[in-house]
Amino acid sequence: MTREVFAHVARLTSFRSKANGVIFGRSVLSPLASFATLATLEAGFRKILSGASGRMARDSIRGVLARKPYVRVYAPLISIGAAALCGILLFSSLMTRDLTYYEYSYKGKVLGVVKDEGDVYRTVSRPETRATINERAGAAVVLDDDENIEVKKVIKLTSSEVPVDREDDIITNIATLGDVNVVGRVVHTGTGEIGTLASEAEVDKLLDLMKERWLEGEDLSKYSEVGFTDELTTDEITTARKNLETADEVFDRLSRASFAAIGVRTVEILNYDEEYEETPIYIDDDERYEDYELVATPGATGLRTVTAEYVRVNGEFSEQTPLSYEVIRPATAASTIRGTKKLSKPIGSGKFARPANGAVTSPFGPRWGRVHEGIDIDVNYAPVYAAGDGKVVYTGNKGDGYGVMIAIDHGEGFETIYGHLSQSSVNIGDEVYKGQRIATSGNTGRSTGAHLHFEVRIDGAPRNPLKYL
Q: Tell me: the pLDDT tens digits for 148-204?
A: 888 999 987 766 778 899 999 999 999 999 999 999 999 887 777 888 999 899 988
Instruction: Tell me the residue ranges of DSSP E strands in 255-386.
Output: 264-276, 281-289, 293-297, 302-313, 316-329, 335-341, 360-362, 365-367, 370-372, 375-377, 383-385
The answer on 463 and 364 residing in a single domain is yes
Of 363, 462, 455, 382, the residue nearest 417 (C-alpha): 455
Over residues 315-346, the pLDDT tens digits come to: 888 889 999 999 999 999 999 888 887 754 44
The answer on 27 and 113 residing in a single domain is no
Q: State residue 58's pLDDT score.
A: 53
Over residues 57-66, the pLDDT tens digits come to: 455 555 555 5
The residues that bridge with 458 in the sheet, in sequence order, are 414, 461
Instruction: Tell me the residue ranges of DSSP E strands in 107-155.
Output: 109-114, 140-141, 149-155
Higher pLDDT, 70 or 276: 276
The answer on 14 and 87 residing in a single domain is yes
What is the Cα–Cα distance from 297 to 303, expressed in whole angstroms? 20
Please report whether residue 203 resides in a domain: yes
What is the Cα–Cα distance from 450 to 373, expressed in whole angstroms? 18
The answer on 364 and 331 residing in a single domain is no
What is the Cα–Cα distance from 405 to 154, expressed in whole angstroms? 80
Q: State residue 87's pLDDT score.
A: 55
Q: Which of 157, 177, 197 is the last residue of a domain?
A: 177
Q: Give 13's pLDDT tier (boundaries 50, 70, 90).
A: very low
Please report whether residue 293 resides in a domain: yes
For 6, the enclosing helix (H) or strand (E) is: helix 2-12
The answer on 170 and 224 residing in a single domain is no
Q: State residue 193's pLDDT score.
A: 83
C-alpha torsion angle, residues 364, 366, 370, 372 (rounded to 10): -10
**Average pLDDT across the chain, whole number:** 79
Give the rounded percent of residues in the chain with a pLDDT score beyond 90.
Answer: 43
CB–CB of 208/250 below 8 Å? no
The answer on 195 and 253 residing in a single domain is yes
Q: State residue 305's pLDDT score.
A: 96
Over residues 367-417, the pLDDT tens digits come to: 877 889 999 999 999 999 999 999 999 999 998 899 999 999 998 889 999
The answer on 76 and 172 residing in a single domain is no
What is the Cα–Cα distance from 31 to 265, expressed in whole angstroms? 102
Mean pLDDT of 24-41: 37
Q: Give 108's pLDDT tier (boundaries 50, 70, 90).
A: confident
For 88, the enclosing helix (H) or strand (E) is: helix 75-98
Q: State residue 360's pLDDT score.
A: 93
Q: State residue 41's pLDDT score.
A: 42
The answer on 21 and 93 residing in a single domain is yes
Give the rounded percent of residues in the chain with a pLDDT score beyond 70.
Answer: 75
Reported pTM: 0.41
CB–CB of 269/308 below 8 Å? yes
**CB-hemisphere CA count at 13 Å for 135?**
8
| pLDDT at residue 255 tops 80 | no
Q: Give 125's pLDDT tier (boundaries 50, 70, 90).
A: confident
| pLDDT at residue 33 tops 50 | no
Instruction: Name residues whose C-beta falls within 8 Å of residue 90's C-beta, 6 or more positions apart in sequence.
Output: none
| pLDDT at residue 12 tops 50 | no
Lowest mean per-residue pLDDT among 76-85, 114-123, 138-147, 285-294: 76-85
The answer on 90 and 42 residing in a single domain is yes
Distances (CA, A) of 203 to 168, 196, 200, 227: 30, 9, 5, 14
Q: State residue 457's pLDDT score.
A: 94
Please report whether residue 348 resides in a domain: no
Mean pLDDT of 92-101: 60
Q: Which of 158, 177, 196 is the last residue of a domain?
A: 177
What is the Cα–Cα distance from 422 to 106, expressed in whole angstroms? 67
Write out the residue range of the structural domain in which residue 372 sits: 360-467
C-alpha torsion angle, residues 459, 461, 466, 468 (rounded to 10): -10
Please report which residue ranges of 156-314 form alpha helices under DSSP H.
Answer: 167-175, 200-215, 247-256
| pLDDT at residue 44 tops 60 | no
